């Protein structure tokens, strides 16, 4: 695992924790976790679509 992957993972976790903590202060803590997991799922879906699009584009050429 490269240092770039480690830094990216650490930044991703930090952003999700900040989202969860910000929402948890304004409401129930479980709402903060729900928001963080929703954002993580959306990013995962976006990444999967991006990979599928890039792999599909490369195989046609």
In the predicted model, is pLDDT for residue 60 greater than 60? no
Which residue reads 């699009």 in tokens?
Answer: 53
Q: What is the DSSP letter of 1?
A: -
* Helices and strands of the chain, counted as H and E runs: 2, 0
17-47 pLDDT tens trace: 998 888 877 778 788 888 899 999 999 999 9
Helix (H, G, I), strand (E, B) or coil at 61: coil
Contact 17, 36 (CB under 8 A): yes
- In which region does residue 28 sit, left (phi positive, over 0), alpha (psi from -120 to 50) or beta (all else)? beta
Q: Model's pTM, two decimal places?
A: 0.73
């Amino acid at each position: 695992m490269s240092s770039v992957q480690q830094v990216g993972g650490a930044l991703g976790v930090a952003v999700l924790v900040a989202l969860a903590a910000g929402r948890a202060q304004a409401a129930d803590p479980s709402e903060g976790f729900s928001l963080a997991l929703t954002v993580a799922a959306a990013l995962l879906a976006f990444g999967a679509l991006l990979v599928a699009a890039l792999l599909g584009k490369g195989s046609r050429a």
